[in-house]
């Protein structure tokens, strides 16, 4: 059964502008942009925990929000990061955060609905996508699954040989449909699960 959603979860997006520190980075979080602070969510922290060696890699931070995942990758030795999001608020956050952490020469923002405006391949794709169906409009009640299914169908065209994908999920919505989609597409994947804040957090690592 999906985990119940309270107003505390909604406040991960509906909040006042704030500034946080994560893994040595100064991160500005504008109102309307997902707050990755570990006090309210574990998804960003879980990706960072299992990011592995990113030295000399080209990284795509898909659904980037503040850009914290791609910036951690840059700070750990990635040579380039592209930050993709369809939100102009996210663009503002990424530009501010790249400058604040002196990473602007290695990172760039692309306004894109998933891979629509992405035009080259990457060694690592980080995807901390929205996983709360209740935050979608009524006419998009299956929005979370549709988004993830489309991502899973498309990412292979943007991943270098021997590349990896890290995709997040949580017990707000059942995991089984995502697993079934992975299996139907024939992907090799590893599932890591941990419980924090009373929620099960899943990290799916996909390799081709």
Residue 19 belongs to a domain: yes
CA-closest candidate to residue 111, choices 57, 78, 62: 62
Residue linked to tokens 């910036």: 71
Q: What is the pLDDT of residue 136?
A: 43
Q: What is the pLDDT of residue 130?
A: 86
Burial of 77 (0-12, 13-18, 19+ CB in 10 A): exposed
By residue range, what is the domain housing residue 195? 7-207
Q: What is the pLDDT of residue 158?
A: 98
Q: What is the CATH number of the domain that holds 38?
A: 3.40.50.150
Q: What is the pLDDT of residue 5?
A: 41
Number of domains making up the chain: 1
Residue 1 belongs to a domain: no
Residue 147 belongs to a domain: yes
Q: What is the pLDDT of residue 139?
A: 44
pLDDT in tens, the chain (208 residues): 444 444 455 678 889 999 999 999 999 999 999 999 999 999 999 999 999 999 999 999 999 999 999 999 999 999 999 999 999 999 999 999 999 999 999 999 999 999 999 999 999 999 999 887 655 444 444 688 999 999 999 999 999 999 999 999 999 999 999 999 999 999 999 999 999 999 999 999 999 8
Residue 2 belongs to a domain: no
Q: How much is the pTM? A: 0.93
The H or E element containing residue 61 is strand 58-62
Q: What is the dihedral of CA 27, 28, 30, 35, to 10 degrees?
A: 30
Q: What is the pLDDT of residue 131?
A: 80
Residue 181 belongs to a domain: yes
């Amino acid at each position: 059964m999906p985990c119940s959603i309270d107003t505390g979860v909604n406040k991960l997006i509906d909040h006042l502008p704030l500034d946080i520190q994560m893994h040595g980075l100064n991160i500005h979080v504008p109102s309307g942009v997902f707050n990755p602070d570990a006090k309210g969510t574990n998804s960003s922290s879980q990706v960072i925990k299992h990011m592995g060696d990113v030295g000399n890699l080209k990284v795509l931070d898909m659904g980037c929000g503040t850009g914290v995942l791609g910036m951690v990758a840059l700070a750990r030795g990635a040579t380039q990061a592209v930050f993709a999001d369809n939100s102009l608020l996210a663009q503002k956050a990424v530009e501010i955060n790249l400058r604040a952490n002196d990473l602007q020469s290695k990172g760039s923002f692309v306004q894109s609905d998933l891979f629509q405006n992405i035009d080259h391949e990457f060694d690592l794709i980080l995807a901390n996508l929205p996983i709360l169906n209740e935050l979608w409009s009524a006419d998009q009640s299956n929005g979370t699954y549709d988004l993830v299914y489309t991502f899973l169908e498309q990412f292979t065209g943007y991943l270098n040989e021997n590349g990896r994908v890290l995709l997040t999920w949580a017990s707000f919505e059942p995991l089984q449909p995502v697993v079934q989609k992975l299996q139907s597409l024939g992907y090799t994947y590893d599932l890591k699960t941990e419980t924090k804040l009373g929620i099960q957090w899943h990290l799916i690592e996909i390799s081709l």
